[in-house]
Amino acid sequence: MKRKIRMGMIGGGKDAFIGAVHRIAANMDGLVELCCGAFSVDPEIGLESGRSLFLSDDRIYGNYNELFDKESKMPADKRIDFVTIVTPNFAHFEPAMLALDHGFNVVIEKPMTITLDEAKQLHKKVEETGLTLCLTHTYSGYPMVKQAKQMVKAGELGEIRKVIVEYPQGWLSSLSEREGNAQAAWRTDPSKSGKSGSMGDIGTHAAHLAEYITGLEITKICADLNIVVPGRAIDDDGNVLLKFDNGSNGVLIASQIAAGEENALKIKVYGEKGGLEWHQMEPNTLIVKWTDQPAQIYRAGNNYLGSFAKHNARTPGGHPEGYLEAFANIYRNFAQTLDAKLNGEQPTAEMLDFPTSKDGVRGMAFIENVVNSSNSDKKWSDNKL
């Protein structure tokens, strides 16, 4: 790498949560430099946010249209290489399309868009431009998730038979969207979050994790969505039966009214020879269970792990790496991929190991098909793209 990859940011001002997470993750390996931004729909907040990040006023923009117009006219040695979009769901599609139209690569929060049709349009635009889009499904960035994926891919568990993935949270157990909680307010507003609440916000993470680790695709679903808290406009709880393209089955649970839970994402994958288990709140550990020998505990940072786990670990065994490091792994792989392409080189498989617009289309299809299934009297519905 001859220079840092230059980044612009849309959203993520001082009044936002996820923007700071993206900036920390992008900066962790020293490969990315924040050069500009349109940080808020409020010009004053946007300017204050940019100045607090030590950006010059001429690189702090009032909106993303201005950002793309002015950045695209800058000399090649100054303008940004990519933009990261950290706005609420409803404000993903338009800036992403504009970024690609102006020749900029994209990092974007999940779900990728607010409708399946938008997701398909965005994926098509990525293919037409040849640019790179990275979707921040954070949990695929953990070293032990990558170890699990490689073990399944190598056939160590045999043919996959069953997947159980659950994502319980408790932070929406009350009607907090009417109690001044800004994060709850937009996530429970269908006009801003889309047609699903809990399944759109966290169920998509669970579905992506199931497909990522197993290498399988969900083909059929049977869903039951619920509005548990009275007065809420959108689902806060749901259960989905799954069928995969190899004939195996699974269960997916996503709930934001599981009182007392924090961020308890976990997954179990069972094959004909054995199974594995990973918990997001104990991310350095992967439990592997066998039919003919004692269970094994794999730990991050050790030399016995595969190349993908090693590539995404920064510290020796016993030194915890968590959410921010997993997020940073996605940014590092994306940055290394861009750097290779800028230098006319072929990125390695480890570099290319991050979610893309294809995953974004699958995520939006999952949301729409789950909602349709829940509203239908049919037992099974196709997970149609």
Alpha-carbon gap, residue 359 to 205, rounded angstroms = 11
Q: Per the domain annotation, does 106 fall within a domain?
A: yes
Domain boundary, last residue among 113, 136, 159: 136
Contact call for residues 31 and 339 (beta carbons, < 8 A): yes
Q: Which of 104, 119, 136 is a domain's end point?
A: 136
- Asked if residue 352 belongs to a domain, the reply is no
Residue 1 has pLDDT above 80, yes or no: no
Domain that holds residue 271: 143-316+362-382
- Whether the CB-CB separation of 23 and 31 falls below 8 Å is answered with no
Using a pLDDT cut of 90, give the percent of the chain over it. 98
Q: Is residue 187 part of a domain?
A: yes
Q: Which residue stretches of the chain are H helix?
A: 18-27, 43-52, 64-72, 93-101, 116-129, 143-153, 182-187, 190-193, 198, 204-214, 307-311, 323-342, 357-374
Residue spans of alpha helices (H) in 247-356: 307-311, 323-342
The domain spanning residue 259 has which CATH number? 3.30.360.10
Tell me, what's the pLDDT at 16? 86
Q: Cα–Cα distance between 97 and 3 in angstroms, integer?
A: 26
Shared domain for 147 and 113, answered yes or no, is: no
Residues 163, 86 within the same domain: no
**Residue 172 falls within a domain, yes or no?**
yes
Residue 153, domain member (yes or no):
yes
**254 in Cβ contact with 238 (< 8 Å):** yes
- Token digits of residue 199: 């399944």
CA 296 to chain centre: 29
Inter-residue contact 125 to 284 (CB < 8 Å): no
pLDDT of 70 reads 98
pLDDT at 171: 97
- Measured CA to CA, the distance from residue 113 to residue 85 in angstroms comes to 11
Contact 129, 97 (CB under 8 A): no
Based on the fold, state whether residues 120 and 151 are members of the same structural domain.
no
In this prediction, residue 2 carries a pLDDT of 87
Query: Domain check: are 158 and 27 in the same one?
Result: no
* 27 domain-assigned: yes
Same-domain status, 124 and 224: no
Pairing of strands 82-85, 105-108: parallel
Mean pLDDT of the chain: 97
pLDDT band with cut points at 50, 70 and 90 for residue 23: very high
Q: What are the residues whose beta carbons fall under 8 Å from the beta carbon of 334, sequence distance 6 or more?
A: 82, 107, 132, 134, 354
Q: What SS3 class is residue 247?
A: coil
- Judge whether residue 17 has pLDDT over 90: no
Q: Is the dihedral of CA 71, 72, 74, 75 positive or negative?
A: positive
Task: Kindly report the number of other CB atoms within 10 A of residue 222's CB atom.
Answer: 17
Confidence check: pLDDT of 270 > 90: yes
| Residue 357 covered by a domain | no
Asked whether residue 96 carries a pLDDT value surpassing 90, the answer given is yes
Do 303 and 246 sit in the same domain of this protein?
yes
186-239 pLDDT, tens digit each: 999 999 999 999 999 999 999 999 999 999 999 999 999 999 999 999 999 999
pTM for the whole structure: 0.96
**Do 175 and 291 belong to one domain?**
yes
**Structure-token match 């969207």, residue found:** 177
- Of the candidates 217, 239, 212, the one whose C-alpha atom is nearest the C-alpha of residue 226 is 239
Q: How many CB atoms lie within 10 A of CB 32?
A: 26
Q: Are the C-beta atoms of 275 and 292 separated by less than 8 Å?
A: no
pLDDT at 93: 98
Report the domain count for the chain. Answer: 2
Does residue 322 form part of some domain?
Answer: no
pLDDT digits (tens, 9 = 90+) for 128-149: 999 999 999 999 999 999 999 9
**Any residues with CB less than 8 A from the CB of 160 and at least 6 apart, and which?**
152, 214, 216, 244, 246, 248, 269, 270, 271
108 and 158 housed in the same domain: no
Mean pLDDT, rounded, for 54-64: 97
- Going by pLDDT thresholds of 50, 70 and 90, the confidence category of residue 15 is confident
Of 101, 136, 171, which one is at a domain's C-terminal end? 136
For residues 12 and 46, what is the distance between their CA atoms, to the nearest angstrom?
9
Where residue 132 sits, what CATH number does that domain have?
3.40.50.720
Same domain, 168 and 117: no
Per-residue pLDDT, averaged over 285-308, amounts to 97
Which of these ranges, 59-68, 117-126, 314-323, has the smallest mean pLDDT? 314-323
Q: Are residues 163 and 284 in the same domain?
A: yes
Residues 289 and 377 in one domain: yes
CA proximity to 26, closest of 242, 287, 336:
336
- 291 and 186 in a common domain: yes
Measured CA angle at 349 (ends 348, 353), to 5 deg: 120
Tell me whether residue 328 is exposed, middle or buried, using C-beta atoms within 10 angstroms of its C-beta: 0 to 12, 13 to 18, 19 or more. buried
